[in-house]
Amino acid sequence: MTQPIPQWFHFAPWVFSIHKAMALIAATPRPTQPLDVATWADAYGLTRLDDPPSQTIGLIGPASDGFDRVYAMSTDLANPVIVATLPIPGQPPGPLLIDGTHRLYRAWREGVAQLPAHVLTVAETRQVRRDARLGPDRTRLNPPH
């Protein structure tokens, strides 16, 4: 069996292993949940990619000059996106789209209302999240002596 090509989503001080998230989902099947395309596309700045205001900086999402719109329009909208669940001290956990930004863009451009989403639990998210300073698949800065 062919091993999947490692994919990573970088966000703030973290890097998320998409191939590990897919393995967790395969090992623990769950029904998909609907993801509201308009809300998420706006939150990720995708609704401004084609006409970005010149003096604004997005908080989350891709930069307009590095986002492959042609590829996005070829993606499979039936393939569920992946949403991580992040613990937030003193608050309920929060969702973060870690796989499927190109599908989200295509769905928004085509007026699709919802996409299927696999939602990781907080515990599963911890299993696929690493400190970005360490790099993918590393758990410490220095090897043990």
Task: Detail the DSSP E strand segments found in the chain.
Answer: 8-11, 14-17, 33-36, 81-88, 91-99, 114-119, 129-131
CA–CA distance, 49 with 34 (Å, rounded to integer): 23
Q: Quick: pLDDT tens for 3-62.
A: 567 788 888 788 999 999 999 999 999 999 999 999 999 998 888 887 766 555 566 667
User: Residue ranges of the domains in the chain?
Assistant: 9-50+61-131
Strand partners, 143: none
Asked whether 82 and 111 are in contact (CB, 8 A), the reply is: no
Asked whether 93 and 18 are in contact (CB, 8 A), the reply is: no
More confident residue, 100 or 2: 100
Q: Quick: pLDDT tens for 54-106.
A: 555 566 667 656 788 999 999 999 999 999 999 999 999 999 999 999 999 99
pLDDT band of 140, cuts 50, 70, 90: very low
Q: What is the pLDDT of residue 141?
A: 46
CA–CA distance, 125 with 14 (Å, rounded to integer): 11
CA–CA distance, 28 with 126 (Å, rounded to integer): 16
Q: ∠ CA 110-100-27 to the nearest 5 degrees?
A: 130
Say what the pTM is: 0.84
CA–CA distance, 140 with 133 (Å, rounded to integer): 9
| H or E segment to which residue 103 belongs | helix 101-109
